[in-house]
C-alpha cells in the first residue's frame, strides 16, 4: 500500500503510534541480525515517501527535513520526475540511511543469505553502491580484524578504481601504485601463459607455492598479512579460469596460515558460471564474498557478505550504509526472476553450447590461441599464431569491431582475449547467431 503523491498539501505529520512502532521495531531487530551494525539515530523503518513526507511501516507520516540525507533535494520521488519515467507508483530513490532503514534491504539480506545457503547467524551483509564500496569496507574490516596492513592478491585481478582498489588491481587494468596499504601480487593462475613455464599437465600449482615459498619467506612475514583478495575468475584480466587444484591448494594455504580471504565475485556472482557463486562451483572457500550490480539488473548496488565471526570482533566500524531502496527492490525482483526461470541452469547449458561452438572455430584458426570458458563466460585469446602464442591485441580489437559492424557487441579483456558474456537468459538460437557473426568477422579480418 503506497500513498499517493497527491498528499503534497497535507502539511501536518501524522503520528498514529509512538515511533518506533512495532512494525518498525521488527525490521530494525532483524536488521541487527543480518546486516553490519550501522550507527542509527531513529529505529524507524521507512515504507514509502513522497515529496517532503516519509511514511513508516506503522503508518506514521513525518516531515523529512533531512531531504533524504541531502540526496533528495526536491524531496522524495518528486511527481514530475516519476511521471517522466513512466513510474506507475513512486519508488523510493533514497532515504537517509544513517537515521532510518527500509524493510527492502532487510528482505534482500534475508533472501540472499537463503539463496546462497549461508547460515543466517553465521554471516552478515553490507550493501554499497559500487564495487569500490565493498572492497574498501572489506579492506577496512580485514585491517581492523588483523591489526595488519599487507594484502596479498594475484595479478590480473580487478578491484575498482579508488586509490586502494587500483593498487589491488595492479597494473594491467588500473593505474596506480599507492602507499595506502601494502599490496603484494602473486602470479595469477594463468595456465596458458604460466610464469613458471610449466605445462598444465605437470603443474604443481607453483603459483600458490610462490605465495608460501617466495612471498612469505622473503618479502613479508605471514604475521604481517591482513588478508587475501581473490577473483575466482579474473574476467577483466583475460577471462582467466584457474584449474580446480589451484583452489584446493589455496584453501590449504589459507587454512594453514589462518588468513582471511575475500572472494571478489563482482563479475561472476549470481549465476553466470552456472552456480549462484563461482567460488562454490570452483571449490574456493571464503570468509567474505563481494557481489555487484548484476545483482540489481544494472542499477548501482554492491554487497559484501562476511562471516559474523570476523565482523563481530571488529570493535569500531563505521562505513555508512549507502544502498538505494530502488536498487534493493530491483535486486529482489532479479532474484525472484532467476529462481523462477532457473537461470543458472540456463547459463550452464547455453555456456556449454557456446564453448563447444567456439572451440570448433578454434581448431580452424591459427589466430585463436586458447579458449577458456565456464558457464556464460567464454574468452577467446587471439595470438599471432598457435605456436609462438604472441598476443595480438590489435587483431582482437579488429575482430570485435567487425562483430559490432555485423550487429554483435563483444569486448576485449586482458591483452587480446575476446570476451563473450551473454545475458544469462540467452537462448540457443541467439548463441548460435552470435557464433555465426563471430565466424564471419574472423573470416573478414584474418587474411
Contacts with its own copies in 224-263 (CB under 8 A)? 224, 235
Segment interacting with its own copies (CB under 8 A) among 26-34, 253-261, 359-367, 408-416: 408-416
Alpha carbon of residue 355 to chain centroid: 24
Q: Which helix (H) or strand (E) holds 377?
A: strand 377-382
In total, the chain counts a number of residues equal to 447
* Cα separation, 423 vs 236, whole angstroms: 17
Between residue 129 and residue 168, which ones bind its own copies under the rule CB under 8 A?
A: 129-130, 132-133, 136, 139-140, 147, 149-150, 155-156, 161-165
* Cα separation, 44 vs 27, whole angstroms: 9
Is residue 400 involved in binding its own copies (CB under 8 A)?
A: yes
For its own copies, the closer CB: 60 or 113: 60
**Least distance to its own copies, CB of residue 310, Å:** 18
Burial 5-36 (b: 16+ CB within 10 A, else e): beeeeeeeeeeeeebbbebbbbbbebbeebbb
* Cα separation, 296 vs 299, whole angstroms: 5
Is 307 in contact with 123 (CB distance < 8 Å)? yes
Between residue 325 and residue 384, which ones bind its own copies under the rule CB under 8 A?
A: 326, 329-330, 333-334, 336-338, 343
Binder among 35, 45, 58, 93 for its own copies (CB under 8 A): 93
Q: With contacts defined by CB under 8 A, how many residues of the chain interact with its own copies?
A: 148
Binder among 5, 38, 91, 242 for its own copies (CB under 8 A): 91
Between residue 6 and residue 35, which ones bind its own copies under the rule CB under 8 A?
A: 11-15, 18-19
Is residue 284 involved in binding its own copies (CB under 8 A)?
A: no
For residue 402, CA distances in Å to 92, 116, 368, 437, 445 come to 42, 40, 16, 9, 8
Between residue 41 and residue 80, which ones bind its own copies under the rule CB under 8 A?
A: 41-42, 44, 51-52, 54, 60-78, 80
Binder among 170, 232, 274, 288 for its own copies (CB under 8 A): 170
Is 129 in contact with 289 (CB distance < 8 Å)? no
Is residue 314 involved in binding its own copies (CB under 8 A)?
A: no
Is 262 in contact with 211 (CB distance < 8 Å)? no
For its own copies, the closer CB: 78 or 304: 78
**Least distance to its own copies, CB of residue 139, Å:** 7
Binder among 115, 314, 353, 397 for its own copies (CB under 8 A): 397
- Sign of the alpha-carbon torsion through 303, 112, 36, 2: positive
**Least distance to its own copies, CB of residue 122, Å:** 26
Among residues 210, 208, 220, the alpha carbon closest in space to that of 245 is found at: 208
Is residue 411 involved in binding its own copies (CB under 8 A)?
A: yes
* Cα separation, 123 vs 310, whole angstroms: 9
Is residue 267 involved in binding its own copies (CB under 8 A)?
A: yes
Is residue 406 involved in binding its own copies (CB under 8 A)?
A: yes
Amino acid at each position: 500500500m503506497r500513498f499517493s503523491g497527491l498528499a503534497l498539501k497535507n502539511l501536518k505529520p501524522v503520528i498514529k503510534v509512538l515511533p518506533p512502532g512495532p512494525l518498525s521495531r521488527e525490521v530494525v531487530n532483524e536488521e541487527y541480525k543480518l546486516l553490519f551494525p550501522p550507527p542509527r539515530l531513529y529505529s524507524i523503518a521507512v515504507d514509502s515517501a513522497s515529496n517532503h513526507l516519509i511514511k513508516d511501516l506503522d503508518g506514521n507520516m513525518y516531515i523529512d527535513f533531512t531531504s533524504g540525507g541531502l540526496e533528495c533535494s526536491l524531496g522524495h520521488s518528486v511527481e514530475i520526475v516519476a511521471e517522466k519515467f513512466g513510474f506507475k507508483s513512486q519508488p523510493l530513490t533514497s532515504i537517509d540511511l544513517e537515521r532510518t532503514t527500509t524493510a527492502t534491504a532487510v528482505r534482500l539480506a534475508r533472501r540472499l543469505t537463503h539463496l546462497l545457503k549461508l547460515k543466517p547467524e553465521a554471516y552478515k551483509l553490507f550493501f554499497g553502491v559500487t564495487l569500490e564500496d565493498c572492497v574498501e569496507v572489506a579492506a577496512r574490516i580485514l585491517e581492523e580484524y588483523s591489526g595488519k596492513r599487507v594484502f596479498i592478491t594475484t595479478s590480473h585481478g580487478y578491484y575498482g578504481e579508488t586509490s586502494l582498489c587500483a593498487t589491488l588491481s595492479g597494473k594491467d587494468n588500473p593505474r596506480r601504485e599507492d602507499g595506502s596499504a601494502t599490496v603484494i601480487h602473486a602470479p595469477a593462475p594463468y595456465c596458458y601463459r604460466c610464469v613458471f613455464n610449466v605445462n598444465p599437465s605437470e603443474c604443481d600449482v607453483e603459483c600458490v607455492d610462490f605465495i608460501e615459498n617466495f612471498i612469505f619467506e622473503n618479502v613479508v612475514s605471514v604475521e604481517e598479512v591482513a588478508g587475501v583478495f581473490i577473483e575466482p575468475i579474473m574476467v577483466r584480466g583475460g577471462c582467466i579460469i584457474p584449474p580446480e587444484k589451484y583452489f584446493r591448494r589455496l584453501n590449504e594455504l589459507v587454512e594453514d596460515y589462518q588468513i582471511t580471504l575475500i572472494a571478489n565475485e563482482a563479475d561472476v556472482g549470481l549465476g553466470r558460471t552456472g552456480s549462484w557463486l563461482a567460488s562454490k562451483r570452483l571449490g574456493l572457500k571464503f570468509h567474505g564474498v563481494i557481489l555487484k550490480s548484476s545483482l540489481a539488473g544494472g542499477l548501482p548496488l554492491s554487497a559484501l557478505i562476511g562471516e559474523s565471526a570476523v565482523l563481530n570482533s571488529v570493535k569500531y566500524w563505521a562505513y555508512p550504509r549507502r544502498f538505494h531502496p530502488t536498487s534493493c527492490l530491483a535486486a529482489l525482483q532479479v532474484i525472484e526472476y532467476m529462481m523462477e526461470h532457473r537461470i543458472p541452469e540456463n547459463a550452464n547449458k547455453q555456456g556449454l553450447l557456446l564453448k563447444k561452438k567456439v572451440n570448433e572455430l578454434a581448431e580452424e584458426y591459427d589466430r585463436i590461441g586458447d579458449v577458456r570458458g565456464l558457464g556464460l563466460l567464454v574468452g577467446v585469446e587471439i595470438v599471432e599464431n598457435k605456436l609462438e602464442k604472441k598476443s595480438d591485441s590489435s587483431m582482437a580489437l579488429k575482430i570485435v569491431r567487425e562483430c559490432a559492424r555485423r550487429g554483435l557487441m563483444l569486448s576485449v579483456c586482458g591483452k587480446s582475449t575476446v570476451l563473450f558474456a551473454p545475458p544469462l537468459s540467452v537462448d540457443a538460437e541467439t548463441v548460435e547467431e552470435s557464433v555465426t557473426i563471430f565466424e564471419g568477422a574472423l573470416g573478414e579480418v584474418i587474411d
